[in-house]
Amino acid sequence: MAFRRLLCLSRRSASSSAAVAVASSAPAPSPPPPNAMIYDRLAESVKSKLKRLENPDQRFLKYNSPHPTLADHTSILTAPATRVTTLPNGLRVATESNLAAKTATIGVWIDAGSRFENDETNGTAHFLEHMIFKGTQFRSARQLEEEIENMGGHLNAYTSREQTTYFIKVMDKDVNNGLSILADILQNSKFDEAYINRERSVILREMEEVEGQTEEVIFDHLHATAFQYTPLGRTILGSAENVKTITKAHLHNYISTHYTAPRMVIAAAGAVKHEEIVDEVKKLFTKLSTDPTTASQLVAKEPATFTGSEVRMIDDDLPLATFAVAFNGASYTDPDSIALMVMQSMLGSWNKSAGGGKHMGSELAQRVGINEIAESMMAFNTNYKDTGLFGVYAVAKPDCLDDLAWAIMHEISKLCYRVSEADVTRACNQLKSSLLLHIDGTTPVAEDIGRQLLTYGRRIPYAELFARIDAVDASAVKRVANRFIYDQDVAIAAQGPIKTLPDYNWFRRRTYWNRY
């Protein structure tokens, strides 16, 4: 009995000594000297953390691969084809059939938004979106709502700076009814004065709610300062003065001018058949204008010009500071727009309330997570017909703004100089996965079809899109970064306790490095 106990003890001591040996094999960080300044001690602490990230314990690497490789997505080649038919009046009908689905989404995507307004009518496109559901010549507002509710459908709309969308999601047996409702509200809306006056207060209340959403406010001001004195700099909701003065004549004029057949796409996805949708559209959409003027022609008359500038709204009563810094980006059809999408994935996003961060592929997320210098941050890449915005949006405590600004500008500018193939490969995989996850459902698929037909003139197959993404390598990223980032003007919008946020010239000087 005593011999067995001694044997067990010897085994335990041997295993514990082995564990100590494994642990001691990792290089221990050298402590700073006792008389070092506090900043030196903090720097050494951060260096030791980064060293542990760069040299992880080999015992855990057997469960995953630290070296990314391009993922194979050949299975997407079996995706259903998108069929497009152009009617004699210029209206395009596009469908993606999935007969195994029990629901369908049908929508009308219109190449018109707040960008095609002027200072006096700014807000008309959004006002029209509200009024389009308030009754037609054949259906009152109550009949319209009851018909949709009875079939269990969902009717919705949204307005952006360049596009307006009306879509309905229904069961497979109600596809024709849904299409009939869309045709009715787009061609036969009455716009009663009583509803117009009542809707003013609704939109004004919506404006108050939007003003309470910091992210919306920041991006509105970012557009206003980046594209000042151009239509793209106006807000989607318009000013309160305009909302109070928009009339029935403004709404009718906007429809007759911009809701034209050549600028509209009817997209359907799910339990639909292309021939049946085309036949129904021919019967229902007969009152549309055939004005051949395209949105691109209107944009060419008033192009968006990027202006390096900043807008700051100091409010020390707010607990957190919010800011966005952006460069002039690429248009939808720019060949470098794909590389900018990859660069957005490389910069990534991070949120304090979410897990991860310190071990993410994005070096910017690592810096933010390890040093805890932000509450959240997010890279963004917005495209328009002739321009775009590329940058980073962040929320932080006031005493972290200078460190956060340095980290953001350092990582953005580093794309011009030092890019690893592993980081690009990882970003490409993340981008492809997010694109596939985004089209999970009939509504996202219909939205993807409508948006791409308006912007590209066709729907890009995902096999082609992924091939374009896989073609982006480290040299392409550096070339595109030197085009859009290196020594280029920036636009900044900030709100809250931002007195410690560096000034514009500080940001501008950090768009390049004086080293080689």
d(CA 370, CA 337): 31
Tokens representing residue 133 in the block: 């559901």
d(CA 440, CA 433): 11
* Cα–Cα nearest to 508, from 309, 321, 306: 309
Do residues 509 and 487 make contact, with C-beta atoms less than 8 angstroms apart?
no
d(CA 204, CA 130): 12
At residue 54, φ and ψ (nearest 5 deg) are: -75, -25
Q: How far is CA 132 from CA 165, 236, 265, 453, in A?
A: 11, 17, 18, 23
Q: Which of 96, 129, 162, 310 is catalytic?
A: 129
Tokens representing residue 100 in the block: 């195994």
List Cβ neighbours of 441 (8 Å cut-off, separation of 6 or more): none
* Cα–Cα nearest to 387, from 220, 226, 221: 226
* Cα–Cα nearest to 431, from 338, 322, 299: 338
Q: Is 160 exposed, middle or buried (0-12, 13-18, 19+ CB in 10 A)?
A: middle
Radius of gyration of the chain (CA): 28
Helix H segments across 334-473? 337-347, 363-371, 401-414, 421-438, 442-455, 462-470
276 is an active site residue: no
Beta strands 264-270; 103-110: pairing state: antiparallel
Q: How far is CA 478 from CA 337, 405, 413, in A?
A: 14, 21, 10
363 is an active site residue: no
- CB count within 10 Å of CB 374 equals 27
CA 83 to chain centre: 27
Sheet holding 388-396, edge to edge: 309-314, 490-496, 321-328, 388-396, 376-383, 349-351
Do residues 507 and 405 make contact, with C-beta atoms less than 8 angstroms apart?
yes
Q: Which of 96, 117, 162, 199 is catalytic?
A: 199
Do residues 294 and 99 make contact, with C-beta atoms less than 8 angstroms apart?
no
Q: Which helix (H) or strand (E) holds 124?
A: helix 124-131
289 DSSP 8-state letter: B
* Cα–Cα nearest to 84, from 73, 96, 75, 93: 93
Catalytic residues: 129, 199
